[in-house]
Structure formats: structure tokens, C-alpha cells
């Protein structure tokens, strides 16, 4: 799924959060979005997820225009996007396996294939001994791998990772980025990751979209 921003503005009242943003991301790219707090990184991801609408300009996900596409087309496209959040956003009273099963149920994954898909993604993120635990019983690195397993479960074309290493120590941060890199290479999954961690950005040698006060640098 190709992602295109064409002269996109996003305003919140008198605040212009994004100004004349244009770029294209091809399927299978690994792209970092960088910039200081308030630069517009999270706003950009919310626009991709259709949680926000642009004030002007056009956003295309594949051949679906988020401004003009019908609700079914937009929802079907949204189901091809997995999300990993800085604060994990796992449901506290469900086990890790149940958290993954819930997202598969939401996207109408074939019921007869749900268990094997859960087994597969838990193995990919190396959480086999943690699958029946609750989020409160996991350490930070394990929580983020569980969140990644949930994002992976729907077999996404795109994974949006919003500051996924923000709450992790250096070792767990690198382990998570290594996992994202493997997923990108193995599955041709597009990875779009926002981060403040310049060491990770520089070491990966991937494309960088840098924002400053809502504008592309």
C-alpha cells in the first residue's frame, strides 16, 4: 500500500499543526519520522489512521482517498494497518493471547485460523512463556513485544510505531527495532516509526522524514 500526502495542512483552531506536507512512502519502505515534541509527528500518524481529517490537501492509502473514499473502502484499508503505541494500550484484564485474539476478531479474521495465527506471532516476538500472563505481569520490553505481536497478527501491509522505544531501556529499545527491521525485510511490511532516538535513526541508515513546527525540513 503506497501512502501519499499531497499538500496536507492540519489546523486545530488557530494552531497550524501541519503545513503543506507532501511525501510518498512506497510499500516495503522503513521510514523514520523525527522532530521535537509538538513538531506534528503524532498528528501525521493520526491522519494516516483516519483518526483526524486534513484541513486541506489529499491523503491516499493505496488507491483510497481518505477525503473522498466511502466508509467501507476506508475501513477495509484501515484494517491493513497495525499500530504500536508508546504506552502499549493493551487491555489490562485480558491475557496477552486474549489481547491478540480480540484484534483478530475485530478485523473478522477467519475463526478457524485465529489460534494458529496467535501461535505464529507470539513465536515471532519470542513471548511463548508469557502468552497466558496479564499485562501487569510483564516487563516493559515484553509489553512492547506483546503490542507488536498484536499489530502483526492482522497481517498488516503497514505498521505505524509511535515512539515505541520511548518507555524502554537501551537494550530493549534495540531489540524492538531489530524485530521491526526483521518484519520489514521478511514480510515486505512498510514500517513508519516516530522517534526521538537519534542513535537508532543514524545506525539504521533508513529514510528520514523530519518535521519542525509542522513543516518538512
CB burial readout 43-63, b (16+ within 10 A) else e: bbbbbbbbebebeebebbbbe
Mean local confidence (pLDDT), 18-33: 97
Confidence of residue 37 (pLDDT cuts 50, 70, 90): confident
Confidence of residue 64 (pLDDT cuts 50, 70, 90): very high
**Hey, what domains does the chain have and what are their CATH numbers?**
27-41+80-216 (3.40.50.300)
What element of type H or E holds 204? helix 198-204
The DSSP secondary-structure symbol of 68 reads T
**pLDDT value at residue 211:** 96
**pLDDT value at residue 131:** 94
Query: In the predicted model, is pLDDT for residue 69 greater than 90?
Result: no
- Among 25, 24, 44, which Cα is nearest to 34's? 44
C-alpha 104/C-alpha 115 separation (Å) is 10
Q: Write down the mean pLDDT value for the chain.
A: 94
Percent of the chain with pLDDT over 70: 100
3-state secondary structure of 170: helix
Mean local confidence (pLDDT), 129-146: 94
Give tens-digit pLDDT for 158-217.
Answer: 999 999 998 889 999 999 999 999 999 999 999 999 998 899 999 999 999 999 999 999
Query: In the predicted model, is pLDDT for residue 148 greater than 90?
Result: yes
* pTM for the model: 0.93
Mean local confidence (pLDDT), 126-153: 94
DSSP string, 91-150: -TTS-HHHHHHHHHHHTT--GGGHHHHHHHHHHHTT-TTTTTS-GGGS-HHHHHHHHHHH
Amino acid at each position: 500500500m503506497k501512502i501519499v500526502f499531497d499538500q496536507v495542512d492540519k489546523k486545530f483552531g488557530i494552531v497550524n499543526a501541519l503545513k503543506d506536507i507532501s511525501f510518498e512512502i512506497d510499500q516495503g519502505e522503513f521510514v523514520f519520522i523525527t522532530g521535537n515534541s509538538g513538531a506534528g509527528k503524532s498528528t501525521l500518524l493520526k491522519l494516516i489512521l483516519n483518526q483526524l481529517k486534513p484541513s486541506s490537501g489529499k491523503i491516499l492509502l493505496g488507491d483510497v482517498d481518505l477525503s473522498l473514499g466511502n466508509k467501507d473502502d476506508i475501513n477495509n484499508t484501515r484494517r491493513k494497518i497495525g499500530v504500536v503505541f508508546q504506552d502499549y494500550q493493551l487491555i489490562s484484564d485480558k491475557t496477552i493471547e486474549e489481547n491478540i485474539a480480540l484484534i483478530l476478531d475485530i478485523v473478522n479474521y477467519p475463526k478457524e485460523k485465529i489460534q494458529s495465527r496467535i501461535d505464529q506471532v507470539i513465536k515471532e516476538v519470542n513471548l511463548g512463556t508469557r502468552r497466558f500472563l496479564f499485562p501487569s505481569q510483564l516487563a516493559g520490553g515484553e509489553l512492547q513485544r506483546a503490542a507488536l505481536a498484536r499489530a502483526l497478527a492482522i497481517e498488516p501491509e503497514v505498521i505505524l510505531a509511535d515512539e515505541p522505544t520511548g518507555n524502554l531501556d537501551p537494550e530493549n529499545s534495540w531489540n524492538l527495532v531489530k524485530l521491526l527491521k526483521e518484519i520489514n525485510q521478511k514480510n515486505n511490511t512498510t514500517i513508519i516509526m516516530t522517534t526521538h532516538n537519534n542513535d537508532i535513526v543514524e545506525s539504521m541508515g533508513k529514510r528520514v522524514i523530519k518535521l519542525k513546527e509542522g513543516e518538512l525540513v
